[in-house]
């Protein structure tokens, strides 16, 4: 007998008139014009119950939902009534079987009262977000770092202007991410104009901006001022704060060495702002080192906001739900930085952060204020537009 391909119509016939007793395979074979063994194998592929269980052909009882699924895979749409007639069960059992398939995450669609296997997923229903958590409490603070006072490359003009802006913006607290002074060591011995620790601190207290109503909370690093710690075995941060009091200043507060957490008690748990001065050189990508810092933190030790000094870079991004700020610097590029191909990003930040009722930061506005080398400003005629722009520019392309 010539072998031919099984059609969907043949499959539907086999399912509807599936063999129930011995001899049915022969009847079906004659009806469909096929061999008895061919009918038996096709019934096996369609997972129909076997009439005669043998060692060569042993199949377990196939559940109704699986038979419906197999039918829907190989044929077009069916109404529930048609499925009921095909499988010789009541409509309620068909509905239960369809529900079982849906519970197995199989897509069942109803199109024009007919059942079909779905090929797309319906969009989810709208989720209600409690928007009041985004209208709770704002905090505002300044961010600055790597001021390197006593360096020949310090930028007191930027530093003073930063505090002028802080005062204009009504900022009461500034977070400093380390290297307030340049210190003294082998790397910078020709870059500083004050060498002794006392002289560097005195210069800092004389020149570091002091504005009414503004407190600077600073950390000390293990480089630059940290060289003094390692060489003279003194807590340079506490010494700066102590001498500032004797100098008549109460606006400089030492937070700690290398890193410190500032807790803002607004929500149900304190919001954690970490000020950090890491080590190592700048990576090929600005965000690479700060990303690795955040990745290394244990889950319960992550701050809400991380302020990173040391790299002399400006930038902002979010990583592992931590808002990361690269705090910039107020020191021009030094010979050492040029040798190492390290750029200096001059500037600082004003940060406005919204604290949710649970203490998390769910809105943040980091305002970056950038500056450039002194020659950029000296060579600009700020009061007059460049000559090339005095006449309207004609934009056209010549082919």
Give percent of the chain with pLDDT exceeding 70.
Answer: 89
Q: Write out pLDDT tens, residues 115-136.
A: 888 887 767 676 676 777 777 8
Distances (CA, A) of 273 to 144, 307, 316: 14, 8, 14
- Within 8 A by CB and 6+ apart from 271, the residues are 139, 263, 264, 265, 304, 305, 353, 355, 359, 360, 361
**Block residue for tokens 């005629």:** 381
Secondary structure of residue 287 in the 3-state scheme: coil
Q: How many CA atoms lie within 13 A of 399 on its CB side?
A: 0
Q: What are phi and psi of 147, to 5 degrees?
A: -80, -30
Q: How far apart (Å, rounded) are the C-alpha atoms in residues 247 and 243?
A: 6
Mean pLDDT of 88-114: 87
Rounded (10°) angle between helices 8-16 and 80-87: 60
Max Cα-Cα span within the chain: 112
Percent of the chain with pLDDT over 90: 50
Lowest mean pLDDT among 114-118, 337-341, 356-360: 114-118
Please state whether 69 falls in left (phi above 0), alpha (psi between -120 and 50) or beta.
alpha
Q: Is the pLDDT assigned to residue 389 strictly greater than 70? A: no
Query: What is the token pair recorded at 338?
Result: 């040029």
Burial 3-22 (b: 16+ CB within 10 A, else e): eeebeeebbbebbeebbeee
Q: Over 70: is that where the pLDDT of 89 sits?
A: yes
Average pLDDT of 148-156?
96
Tokens at 187, concatenated: 């790397």
Element (H, E) at 257: strand 252-257
3-state secondary structure of 331: strand
Rounded CA-CA distance 5/31 in Å is 15
Instruction: Name the pLDDT band for 55 (thresholds 50, 70, 90).
Output: very low
Helix then strand count (H, E) for the chain reads 13, 13
The encoded tokens of residue 75 equal 């044929």
Find the distance separating the first CA and the last CA of the chain, reported in whole Å: 74
- Residue of 353, 285, 273 lying closest to 315 (CA atoms): 285
- Answer whether residue 395 shows pLDDT above 70: no
For residues 362-386, average pLDDT? 79
pLDDT of residue 210 exceeding 50, the answer is yes
**How many Cβ atoms sit within 10 Å of the Cβ of residue 384?**
8
Q: Are 276 and 309 in contact (CB under 8 A)?
A: yes
Q: What is the mean pLDDT of residues 192-221?
A: 95
Q: 291 falls in which pLDDT band (50, 70, 90)? A: very high
Residue ranges and CATH numbers for the domains of the chain are 8-117 (no CATH), 133-373 (3.60.21.10)
Candidates 12, 372, 394; CA nearest to 158 is: 372
Q: DSSP per residue over 334-364, as a string?
A: PHHHHHTT----EEEEEEEEEEPTTS-EEEE
């Amino acid at each position: 007998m010539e072998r031919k391909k099984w059609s969907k119509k043949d499959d539907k016939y086999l399912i509807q008139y599936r063999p129930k007793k011995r001899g049915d395979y022969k009847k079906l074979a004659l009806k469909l014009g096929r061999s008895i063994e061919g009918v038996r194998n096709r019934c096996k592929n369609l997972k129909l119950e076997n009439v005669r269980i043998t060692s060569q052909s042993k199949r377990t009882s196939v559940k109704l939902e699986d038979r419906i699924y197999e039918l829907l895979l190989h044929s077009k749409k069916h109404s529930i009534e048609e499925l009921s007639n095909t499988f010789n069960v009541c409509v309620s059992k068909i509905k239960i079987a369809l529900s079982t398939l849906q519970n197995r995450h199989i897509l069942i669609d109803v199109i024009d009262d007919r059942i079909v296997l779905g090929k797309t997923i319906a969009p989810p229903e709208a989720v209600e977000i409690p928007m009041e958590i985004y209208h709770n409490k704002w905090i505002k603070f300044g961010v600055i770092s790597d001021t390197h006072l006593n360096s020949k490359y310090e930028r007191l003009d930027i530093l003073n202007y930063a505090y002028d802006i802080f005062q204009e913006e009504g900022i009461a607290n500034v977070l400093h991410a380390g290297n307030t002074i340049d210190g003294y060591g082998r790397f910078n011995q020709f870059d500083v104009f004050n060498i002794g620790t006392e002289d560097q601190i005195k210069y800092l207290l004389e020149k570091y901006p002091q504005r009414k109503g503004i407190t600077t909370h600073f950390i000390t690093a293990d480089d630059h001022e940290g060289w003094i710690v390692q060489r003279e075995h003194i807590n340079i941060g506490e010494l700066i704060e102590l001498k500032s009091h004797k100098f008549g200043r109460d606006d400089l507060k030492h937070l700690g060495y290398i890193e410190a957490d500032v807790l803002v008690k607004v929500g149900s748990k304190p919001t954690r702002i970490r000020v950090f001065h890491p080590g190592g050189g700048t990576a090929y990508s600005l965000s690479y080192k700060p990303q690795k810092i955040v990745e290394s933190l244990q889950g319960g030790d992550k701050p809400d906001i991380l302020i990173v000094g040391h790299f002399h870079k400006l930038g902002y991004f979010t990583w592992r739900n931590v808002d990361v700020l690269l705090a910039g610097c107020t020191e021009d590029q030094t010979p050492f930085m040029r040798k190492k191909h390290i750029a200096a990003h001059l500037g600082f930040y004003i940060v406005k952060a919204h604290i949710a009722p649970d203490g998390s930061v769910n809105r943040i506005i980091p305002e970056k204020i950038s500056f450039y080398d002194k020659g950029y400003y000296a060579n600009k005629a700020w009061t007059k537009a460049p000559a090339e722009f005095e006449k309207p520019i004609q934009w056209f392309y010549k082919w």
